[in-house]
Amino acid sequence: MEVGKKRESAMAKVGSETLDTRAQRHDLVRTAAAKLRELILAREPGAQIGSLNEVSDILGVGIVTVQQAARVLEHEGLLTVRRGPGGGYYGARPDDAALERALATYLRVHCSVRSEAREIISLIDCELSAAAADCGSEELRAELSALGASLSACDTPESRVNWEYRLRAQLFRMVDRPLFELIMRVSIQVYDSAASTLIYAGEAGVAAWRLEHERVIAAILGQDRELARFEAERHRRDFLRRLGRSDH
């Protein structure tokens, strides 16, 4: 029995050392990837970072670690590996489509998908409305005013959904929020992948939908940031309240 206990203890020690080694390897690769990422971002897209051995020397790690870190950055769209004469590691930039696919996959894996997506959309709408009130472009403000005037023509659910897409696109033209725009696009994709629910139903619902958006647009055009945020949040609360009713 004593021999068996010693054997179990020895195996447990080996297992612990293996886990520690894996954790250390993971940290080493993550650190190398972070350093390589900064090297890439500090240079123009397409610039050569170096050969495998050169990058290994720059980062101060072995070539196996460099290769593992490179795979991480290739997946991020920040690195391309060219083989043959003139080959090596070259910096790149991920395109919007690649980022959207990666983020959409993350949302589907880690989030409650539809409920999380609609929360994200409504929160960004509030921030977007407030920020748009600071826009000083008369041309963009005139376009928003014209879009607001078209609210009365939105007499079908499809036309109202399309109008909201146009409103968000217009607001993003009025503000500089590239990360918000990316997250919004992905969230809308995730939200639209689920069965759509008619939230503002009937004449009273449609009238409320129009009035809420008219108030938001009026506050933005009045360049009143706090009022724009207030009206957008009031619309968000009404939307979530109606959504809660339709879900039950």
Kindly report the CATH number assigned to the domain that includes residue 182: 1.20.120.530
pLDDT of residue 20: 72
pLDDT of residue 193: 45
Of 70, 100, 105, the residue nearest 88 (C-alpha): 70
Residue 56 and residue 110 in one domain = no
- Residue located via tokens 């020895």: 10
Structural domain boundaries, residue 145: 97-246
Residue 70 and residue 22 in one domain = yes
- Mean pLDDT across the stretch 185-198? 64
pLDDT of residue 119: 85
Residue 87 and residue 101 in one domain = no
Whether the Cβ atoms of residue 91 and residue 43 lie closer than 8 Å to each other = yes
Q: What is the pLDDT of residues 121-178, one digit of tens each?
A: 899 999 999 999 999 999 999 999 999 999 999 988 889 989 999 999 999 999 999 8
pLDDT of residue 183: 85
Q: What is the pLDDT of residues 6-63, one digit of tens each?
A: 555 544 454 544 667 778 888 899 999 999 999 999 999 999 999 999 999 999 999 9
The total number of structural domains in the chain stands at 2
Residue 86 and residue 104 in one domain = no
156: three-class secondary structure by DSSP: coil
Domain end position, chosen among 47, 62, 91: 91
Domain end position, chosen among 47, 72, 91: 91
pLDDT of residue 246: 54
Residue 105 and residue 212 in one domain = yes
- Mean pLDDT across the stretch 213-219? 98
Strand partners, 89: 50, 81
